[in-house]
Amino acid sequence: MTIRPEPFWIWPGWRQLGYAGLLALAVSVWFEIIYGGANFLAGQHSHRVRIHLDAELAVPLIPATVLLYMSLYLLFWAAPFILHSRHELKALTVTLAAVTLCAGIGFLFFPAETAFPPPGDMGIWTGLVRFARAVALRYNCVPSLHVALSVVCIGIFASRARLPARVLLWSWAVAICASTVLLHQHHLVDVITGFALGLAGVRWVYWRWTTPILQANLSTHPAPPA
């Protein structure tokens, strides 16, 4: 679904920003419970699932891609500037929470670790890469929640954009996916399942939450004739 009834980017106002901040706090607490809890439970046993192909171990580590990897957080910050109503922000929050829960279930059923060797000194990127690896935790691999959350945000934002911007947004999503592998944070199966989970979240949670409201708005305020 694609909608473009309003400008893509607007100043939301302080009250809307405050509301977005409260939702962000709630979903952050939920994330810590699910993501941290799944990693903790996986650490209580030794069962691990092999998730990599031997050929993947030849993928080079490119530390500078940490900038692409960390750009996920820019997507979170952008939400109140692109989603103009509280209903849309709430729908995004519910979608992120649902995707996080599904990923947490995946972590419990498929506890895994990356097979890439530990990185050595990475020059100016060392601190940032180590921070990214610490946040990712050890056993939460498949599906890649980093990829899934990125796809949720970009899938929703792209629906409000014109074609050139949609191309740029989806290129950004692909770049984030690539960065998870080039940083040796994830394997290909993690990326594929994370991408699928993000798309499912947009389709089965976000649009089911927002479509009735959009249809009601259109019926109340029909678009002007061309």
> What are the extents of the domains in the chain?
14-43+53-212
| Confidence at residue 120, expressed as pLDDT on a 0 to 100 scale | 86
Q: What is the pLDDT of residue 160?
A: 92
77, two tokens: 């910050």
Tokens of 221: 């305020």
Residue 52's contacts (CB-CB under 8 Å, 6 or more residues apart) are 114, 115, 187, 188, 189
User: In the prediction, which pLDDT does 7 show?
Assistant: 86
- At 221, the pLDDT band (50, 70, 90 cuts) reads very low
CA angle centred on 166, ends 163 and 171, rounded to 5°: 130
The tens digit of pLDDT for each residue in 143-173 reads 999 999 999 999 999 999 999 999 999 999 9
Per-residue pLDDT for 206 more than 50?
A: yes
In the chain, the percentage of residues whose pLDDT exceeds 70 is 91
pLDDT surpasses 70 at 37: yes
pLDDT score of 70: 97
DSSP state of 203: I
Does the pLDDT of residue 218 top 50, yes or no? no
| CA dist list (Å): 193 to 14, 106, 134, 143, 198 | 37, 10, 22, 5, 9
User: Is residue 140 predicted with pLDDT exceeding 70?
Assistant: yes
Chain mean pLDDT for the chain: 92
Q: Kindly write down the DSSP assignment for every residue of 45-108, as one continuous string.
A: S--------GGGGGSPP-GGGHHHHHTHHHHHHHHHHH--SHHHHHHHHHHHHHHHHHHHHHHH
User: Above 50 in pLDDT, residue 78?
Assistant: yes
The total of other beta-carbon atoms located within 10 Å of residue 111's CB is 24
215 band by pLDDT with thresholds 50, 70 and 90: low
